[in-house]
Amino acid sequence: MTEVDVRQKVLAANAAAANGLRARFLETGTLVVNLISSPGSGKTTLLEATARALRERLRLGGLDGDIATDRDAERLRQAGIPARQILTGGACHLDARQVESALAEEGERLSGLDVLFIENVGNLICPTSYDLGEDFKVALLSVTEGDDKPFKYPAIFARAAVTLVTKADLLPHVDFDLAAVTDQVAALNPGGRLLVVSARTGEGMDAWFGLISAERSRKRNARFAACVV
Amino acid sequence: MHELGLALEIHRIARQAADERDGGPLEFVTVAVGDLAAVEPQLLEFAWRAVVDGTPDAGADLKVEWRPARQVCASCGEVSERAPGSWMRLCPRCEEPLAVTGGDDLDVLRVAFAGPAAAAGGAFR
């Protein structure tokens, strides 16, 4: 028997594809945001509101991962931005190669964007492990899901640069301890940001739009810096 | 249930390591799985069986080395006490919030395979 040290990342092939995407997004100055949450927490609704608020100022686009139907991409197109559905046919997450081929097939329509939103398959667990070449992950937690979720699904809340507590307009109707969630997220992810929003009433949404605009400017400046170097 | 995709990838990496050395069937593969890797070791081992069954590597075991995430207090350093099934929120000494770091391992560490008979000796110096 022969025994050898390998020491290779299991997801090395995904990481290589993600790094390729990241280099491309840096070249075009495209900010890429990977949205992860359980089904029904409001990813598409958030993006619809974001599209309507920012589409005049920024070139936005969306990739929507789902097991079935192209409903989400259609909703984003109705909100006035180009969007492409990625059907995983049962897989519980998007991987970098799927993003690569979806972008290749869309060609011009999704290239050179200011901001690309990747709406992952609704799942708080599996998508966390797959780098898609994004600048940062955003975790959504709707108030109807319960205030114990960050500690129950620590991987995503530890890795998401931004946590959005969504459906804040329902706070008066549910037992959701916002302070407890803030504490849990702070413990898992001391550098992370937490915003409380309602896409329905607009509460807190300006802070979200401001964050996207600021990160987009930062990405564009990084692109100029990369060109100078 | 992304463990199946991971098991396929682990098998591909292990097979490649063996093939590069003219190795035969796999004997075992050791992987590191971290607390934050979002991988359930038992499901991974179950998926591994599904991947190797019916192949020459059917007898190969998957050995999982668990890598805990570290709890770090800004003042007291690493905290080894654990809350049942999870992390502690506050440092048991100074009550400051704890940061959770590391634990994102998901690596193939070692691969063992049959042969090749000549591997142990015969190399020219």
CB contact under 8 A, A129 and B99: no
Q: Check pLDDT > 60 for residue B60.
A: yes
The pLDDT score that the predictor gives to residue A121 is 96
The pLDDT score that the predictor gives to residue B124 is 41
Q: Check pLDDT > 90 for residue B118.
A: no
Residues of A in contact with B48 (CB under 8 A): none
Q: Under DSSP, is residue A172 helix (H, G, I), strand (E, B) or coil?
A: helix
Mean pLDDT value across residues A99-117 = 95
Higher per-residue pLDDT: B86 or A59: A59
SS (H, E, C) A71-137: HHHHHHHHCCCCEEEEECCCCCCCCHHHHHHHHHHHHHHHCCCCEEEEECCCCCCHHHHCCCCCCEE
The one-letter code for the residue type at A77 is: R
Residues A12-42 have pLDDT tens digits of: 999 999 999 999 999 999 999 999 999 999 9
Mean pLDDT value across residues A91-115 = 94
Mean pLDDT value across residues A134-151 = 96
Q: Check pLDDT > 70 for residue A154.
A: yes
Mean pLDDT value across residues B74-95 = 83
Shortest distance, CA A122 to any CA of chain B (angstroms): 13
Q: Check pLDDT > 60 for residue A132.
A: yes
Residues of A in contact with B38 (CB under 8 A): 125-126, 128-129, 155-156
Domains along the sequence of chain B with CATH? 3-114 (3.30.2320.80)
**Residues near A23 by beta carbon (within 8 Å), at least 6 away in sequence:** none
Buried b (16+ CB within 10 A) or exposed e, A108-143: eebeebbbbbbbbbbbbbbbbbbbbbbbbbbbbbbb
Shortest distance, CA A166 to any CA of chain B (angstroms): 23
Q: Check pLDDT > 60 for residue B121.
A: no
Shortest distance, CA A96 to any CA of chain B (angstroms): 14
Q: Check pLDDT > 80 for residue A164.
A: yes
The pLDDT score that the predictor gives to residue A99 is 97
pLDDT band at B120 (very low <50, low <70, confident <90, very high): very low
Paired strand residues for A66: A87
CB contact under 8 A, A128 and B38: yes
Residues A175-218 have pLDDT tens digits of: 999 999 998 898 888 889 999 999 999 999 999 999 999 999 99
Q: How many CB pairs under 8 A join A and B?
A: 100
Please determine, for the modelled complex, whether the ipTM score is greater than 0.85: no
- How far apart CA B40 and CA A62 sit, in angstroms, is 31
Q: Check pLDDT > 60 for residue B15.
A: yes
The pLDDT score that the predictor gives to residue A78 is 98
State residue A178 phi and psi, 5-degree precision: -60, -35
Q: Lowest mean pLDDT of A31-40, B24-33, B84-93, B116-125, name the range.
A: B116-125
In contact, A156 and A124? CB cutoff 8 Å? yes
Interface test with B, best of A4, A120, A157 (most B CBs within 10 A): A4
Q: Which fold has domain A25-228?
A: Rossmann fold (3.40.50)
**Residues near B86 by beta carbon (within 8 Å), at least 6 away in sequence:** A151, A154
- How far apart CA A176 and CA A195 sit, in angstroms, is 15
Mean pLDDT value across residues A89-95 = 89
CA quadruple A222, A162, A23, A16: dihedral positive or negative? Answer: positive
The pLDDT score that the predictor gives to residue A189 is 86
The mean pLDDT value of chain A amounts to 94
Highest mean pLDDT among A208-222, B35-49, B77-91 belongs to A208-222
Residues of A in contact with B9 (CB under 8 A): 10-11, 13
Shortest distance, CA B11 to any CA of chain A (angstroms): 10
Residues A43-65 have pLDDT tens digits of: 999 999 999 999 999 999 999 99
Nearest-by-Cβ selection for A11 from B9, B100, B112: B9
Q: Check pLDDT > 60 for residue B125.
A: no
Residues B26-41 have pLDDT tens digits of: 999 999 999 888 888 9
Q: Lowest mean pLDDT of A91-105, B47-61, B73-87, B99-113, name the range.
A: B73-87
Residues of A in contact with B119 (CB under 8 A): 2
With the CA atoms of A141, B67, A33 and A195 taken in that order, what torsion angle do they form, in degrees rounded to the nearest 10?
40
